[in-house]
Amino acid sequence: MKKVSMVIVSLVMLTLLLAACSNNNEPVNTAKEPDSSAKDNTDNNAVTEPKEEVITIKYVIPGTEPNEWPAVKEAVNKKLLADGVNVQIEKEYIDWGAWEQKINLKLSTNEDFDMFHVMNDWIQLANYAGRGALKDISAEIEQYGPNLKKVIPESVWSSVNKEGKIYGVPAYWYEAAVDGSITINKHLLNKAGAATSFSNRQEMLDAMAQVNKNLDMKLNIPIRGGTAGPADIFQRTYDSYPFTVRDNIAYISGDGVVKNWVETDEFKQDAAWFRQAYEAKLIHPDVLTVKQEQVEQQIKSGQYVFTFGTGNKFVDVQKTYPDAKDEDFELFQFNPEKPSYRMVNAKNINVVAASSKHPAEAVKFLNWLYDNQDNYDLFMYGIEGTTYTKVGDKGLETVIDPKTNTPLYLQDDWMIGNLNFIRVDQSLLSATKQLYIENPEAKNFFAADFFFDPASVKAEMGNVQAVITSDVTPVYRGVLDYDKYIKSAQDKLKAAGIEKVIAEYQRQLDAYKATLK
């Protein structure tokens, strides 16, 4: 009995100890911060200017806090004050696995935070707006955001504009015209004596089969995300180009007609190609289940004849193929004579929460961020020499923390970056760097900035999406035979209400088109 009570007593003491240190730590992190910055403020500004209140805004993003953020934060906040912007920035990182829940929580409880990130191709802006989560910041942008208008193209803004209200600031961080490309591994193609350029999709498969045969390999096409959208690489091969497919269901033609994608001939042809590849074992037999890391690893190490989209770092490819050269990897699009289109803009948007008391300051901060390269570098990449080094004009090399194998500090460009300032990791394949080069020839597809709001057909949309994953994706990916299974998939889509969704799509698109004129 004595032993037990001893154990309990020591545990209680341990608990209290932990409790005590957590209580001590907390004020250090939160309460003291504004205090010290306020002091900075008086140091820097009080002499010259009359005092203006310094406001700290909180930016909530997914991910894990990099080790050096506290140091970078201090530098950013100092510079903000020195530049006369009376705003201080604070970031809260939320783990990916809890992102949706925690954002929903913060919004539901009207927690005090100002800006957060919206992945428009995941849970849409319209969705958040519909639930009253966002603040209209059109007036603030007008007043405090001259730089925003400068660095973000006019057309992209229409994607955050609903009935005259502006619900966010789009991140214009990559050249969307690159979507629909494939990366070709010419190193392997040359070695196998296969063609290195394709004029049609059959040649791709033939070349790949040749590589596997001649080099005695078992490569397959890495396909990211089992439910990821249609393969936009083939769009350019159709006469109906340009068109786009949204939400896996809505085929939007160049002249503004919305059709059920699954019923189109393009869908059928795509599915036939995947089926052929699947049967020839050029697609992983477990393509619908294969672990995402495995696919990423495959792309990273360059173990493909071609992959949809862009590749990764050259150094990693070299580990697999020591004699491969950077120029062996080429970004390729079918029918290059056809014009390039950006099919969708504004996949990433930063928004101001409805509960925020400082929408103006959030805009002021973004305006500061996009004011010049120095500001951008500081917030995005940290402190030169410590967390990154500049390489050339627009390049950088991040300093990797050997402990965690992650960068010491890096604000992901895809959340809040901008093409005008972005620095590119020089270890990337040259083919991949194209993502960050603005293509002056590229045009915006007329619906590039149109986003569908499913609110009025929510029930149908939910069921349609469920059917897409269960019945359509296996057919599209070639796992199931088109002729045998498409009928029942289409019937299920109809039963789920796809016609209603498409009609609503058409209605919203027409309304959007009307605003363009």
Cα–Cα dist 38/32, whole Å:
10
Q: Map the footprint of other proteins across residues 333-372, applying CB under 8 A.
A: 354-355
Q: Map the footprint of other proteins across residues 433-462, applying CB under 8 A.
A: 433, 435, 454, 458-462
- Smallest gap from Cβ 157 to other proteins, in A, equals 22
* 66 versus 145: smaller Cβ distance to other proteins: 66
Nearest to 420 by CA among 433, 439, 436, 398: 436
**Stretch near other proteins under the rule CB under 8 A, chosen from 37-45, 139-147, 156-164, 217-225:** 217-225
- Which two tokens mark 209? 């089969």
In the set 145, 309, 359, 478, which binds other proteins (CB under 8 A)?
309
- Which two tokens mark 511? 């309304």
- Smallest gap from Cβ 36 to other proteins, in A, equals 19
Which residue has tokens 């270890």? Answer: 427
Amino acid at 51: K
Nearest to 426 by CA among 327, 315, 321: 315
DSSP, collapsed to helix, strand or coil, labels residue 25 as helix
Q: What CA–CA distances, in Å, run from 32 to 29, 68, 257, 385, 469?
A: 6, 19, 57, 28, 50
Determine if 327 is a binding residue for other proteins (CB under 8 A).
Answer: no
Determine if 258 is a binding residue for other proteins (CB under 8 A).
Answer: no
- Smallest gap from Cβ 12 to other proteins, in A, equals 8
Nearest to 283 by CA among 29, 474, 512, 470: 474
- Smallest gap from Cβ 429 to other proteins, in A, equals 7
Determine if 392 is a binding residue for other proteins (CB under 8 A).
Answer: no
- Smallest gap from Cβ 219 to other proteins, in A, equals 12
**Stretch near other proteins under the rule CB under 8 A, chosen from 22-30, 80-88, 200-208, 505-513:** 22-30
Q: What CA–CA distances, in Å, run from 249 to 159, 244, 502?
A: 20, 10, 8
* 32 versus 39: smaller Cβ distance to other proteins: 32
Q: Map the footprint of other proteins across residues 31-70, applying CB under 8 A.
A: 62-64, 66
Determine if 270 is a binding residue for other proteins (CB under 8 A).
Answer: no
Determine if 18 is a binding residue for other proteins (CB under 8 A).
Answer: yes
Main-chain dihedrals φ then ψ at residue 307, nearest 5 degrees: -135, 145
The answer to whether 449 and 333 have CB atoms below 8 angstroms apart is no
Determine if 3 is a binding residue for other proteins (CB under 8 A).
Answer: no
* Secondary element (H or E) of residue 281: none
Determine if 299 is a binding residue for other proteins (CB under 8 A).
Answer: yes
Q: Map the footprint of other proteins across residues 145-184, applying CB under 8 A.
A: 174, 178-179
- Smallest gap from Cβ 392 to other proteins, in A, equals 16
Cα–Cα dist 231/478, whole Å:
12
Determine if 480 is a binding residue for other proteins (CB under 8 A).
Answer: yes
**30: number of Cβ within 10 Å:** 11
* 85 versus 496: smaller Cβ distance to other proteins: 496
Determine if 2 is a binding residue for other proteins (CB under 8 A).
Answer: no
In the set 274, 341, 370, 409, which binds other proteins (CB under 8 A)?
409
**Stretch near other proteins under the rule CB under 8 A, chosen from 36-44, 82-90, 150-158, 420-428:** 420-428
Determine if 6 is a binding residue for other proteins (CB under 8 A).
Answer: no
Give strand ranges (E) for 353-423. 388-391, 395-398, 400-401, 406-407
Determine if 133 is a binding residue for other proteins (CB under 8 A).
Answer: yes
Determine if 315 is a binding residue for other proteins (CB under 8 A).
Answer: no
Q: Map the footprint of other proteins across residues 73-132, applying CB under 8 A.
A: 92, 95-98, 100-102, 104-105, 107-110, 119, 121-124, 127, 131-132
Q: What CA–CA distances, in Å, run from 69 to 73, 260, 352?
A: 6, 47, 22
Nearest to 385 by CA among 104, 71, 173, 113: 71
Determine if 232 is a binding residue for other proteins (CB under 8 A).
Answer: no
